[in-house]
Amino acid sequence: MIDIKLIRENPELVKENIKKKFQDAKLPLVDEVKKLDEEFRSLKTKADDLRSKRNTMSKEIGALMGKGLKEEAEKVKATVKEIGDQIAKCEEEEPKLEERIKDIMMKIPNIIDATVPIGKDDSENVSRETFGEPVVPAYEVPHHADILDKLKGLDKESAGRTSGEGFYYLLGDAARLHEAMIAYARDYMIEKGFTYAIPPFMIHSSVVTGVMSFPEMEAMMYKIEGEDLYLIGTSEHSMIGKFQGQMLKKEDLPVRMTSYSPCFRKEGGSHGLEERGLYRVHQFEKQEMIVLCEPEDSMKYYEDMWKYTVEVFRNLDIPVRQLDCCSGDLADLKVKSCDIEAWSPRQKKYFEVGSCSNLGDAQARRLGIRIKSDKGNYFCHTLNNTVLASPRGLIALIENNYNEDGSINVPKVLQPYMGGLKKIEVK
For residue 331, what is the domain's CATH number?
3.30.930.10
In this structure, is the dihedral angle defined by the CA atoms of residues 107, 235, 272 and 282, taken in order, positive or negative?
negative
Q: Name the nearest CA neighbour of 414 among 405, 406, 423.
A: 423
- CA dist 171 and 178 (Å) reads 10
The answer to whether residues 179 and 57 belong to one domain is no
For residue 270, the model assigns a pLDDT of: 40
Is residue 287 predicted with pLDDT exceeding 90?
Answer: yes
In a domain, 208, yes or no: yes
- CA dist 371 and 374 (Å) reads 10
In a domain, 117, yes or no: no
> What rounded mean pLDDT belongs to the chain?
94
- CA dist 128 and 280 (Å) reads 25
pLDDT band at 383 (very low <50, low <70, confident <90, very high): very high
Over range 303-311, report the average pLDDT. Answer: 98
User: Percent of the chain beyond pLDDT 90?
Assistant: 87
The answer to whether residues 413 and 333 belong to one domain is yes
The answer to whether residues 411 and 265 belong to one domain is yes
Cis peptide before 345 (omega within 30 of 0): no
pLDDT band at 269 (very low <50, low <70, confident <90, very high): very low
* pLDDT per position as a tens digit, 166-182: 899 999 999 999 999 99
Is residue 107 predicted with pLDDT exceeding 90?
Answer: yes
pLDDT band at 71 (very low <50, low <70, confident <90, very high): confident
Q: Read off the DSSP letter of residue 224.
A: P
Owning domain of residue 295: 122-424
**Domain count within the chain:** 2
* pLDDT per position as a tens digit, 123-161: 999 999 999 999 999 999 999 999 999 999 999 999 999
The answer to whether residues 101 and 126 belong to one domain is no
pTM, rounded to two decimals:
0.90
In a domain, 116, yes or no: no
The DSSP result for 318-347, as a single string, is --EEEEEPPGGGS-TT-SEEEEEEEEETTT
The DSSP result for 72-114, as a single string, is HHHHHHHHHHHHHHHHHHHHHHHHHHHHHHHHHHTTSPPPPPT
In a domain, 113, yes or no: no
The answer to whether residues 85 and 200 belong to one domain is no
From 39, 72, 105, the end of a domain falls on: 105
Is residue 57 predicted with pLDDT exceeding 60?
Answer: yes
The answer to whether residues 99 and 159 belong to one domain is no
In a domain, 114, yes or no: no
For residue 273, the model assigns a pLDDT of: 52
User: Which residues 6+ apart lie within 8 Å of 164 measured at CB?
Assistant: none
The CA distances from residue 406 to 178, 253, 317, 412, in Å, are 18, 48, 17, 19
* pLDDT per position as a tens digit, 206-235: 999 999 877 777 778 999 999 999 999 999
| More confidently predicted of 214 and 14 | 14
The answer to whether residues 192 and 321 belong to one domain is yes
pLDDT band at 46 (very low <50, low <70, confident <90, very high): very high
The CA distances from residue 149 to 18, 60, 154, 200, in Å, are 47, 89, 6, 33
The DSSP result for 103-162, as a single string, is HHHTTSPPPPPTTSPP-SSGGG-EEEEEES-----SS----HHHHHHHTT-EEHHHHHHH
